[in-house]
Amino acid sequence: MADRIDSIWRDYFSGRLDLKIKQREYEIRNDRGPTDENIGGGKALNKHNRPVEDMRIRIDEDRCLKRLMNQKEDIERWIATFESDKQKVVRYYYASNSVTWVKVAQQFHISERTAQAWRFEIKHILGAVL
């Protein structure tokens, strides 16, 4: 559980989650689907030609894209309910892989244990949601 939540937070605060969402939308928009190799034969009588609506349906029904967007919305909704100091600490820690708790403590003039306790508090609440 801890590794999954940490990974989701790293993706969110570093901007990778937004990139994953854009990449998935790009993949859906540029996927041409299976190639019809049935050459010849008759004419399709009941075939509809609505590419815009079909694209919107594929985007709306994609499970991977829905999961990524729900994660982003959940994080944004819940992180906004915490105090700004706690938000800043968590954001600073997860925005880069090179940041340690010592750097966080020095940056925000708090003890390492306090910073870790704030992270644990937010992680405990968001862990139930995510």
Q: Are the beta carbons of 72 and 14 closer than 8 angstroms? A: no
What is the C-alpha separation between 54 and 52, in angstroms, rounded? 5
Q: What is the mean pLDDT of residues 62-86?
A: 91
pLDDT tens for each residue of 88-122: 999 999 998 889 999 999 999 999 999 999 999 88
Question: What is the value of pTM for the model shown?
Answer: 0.76
Q: Are the beta carbons of 115 and 104 closer than 8 angstroms? A: yes
What is the pLDDT, as a whole number, of residue 42?
64
One DSSP character per residue, 2-14 reads HHHHHHHHHHHHH
CA proximity to 82, closest of 128, 119, 129, 127? 119
- Kind and range of the H or E element at 17? helix 16-30
Axis crossing angle, helix 101-108 with helix 112-129, rounded to the nearest 10: 110
SS3 state of residue 48: coil
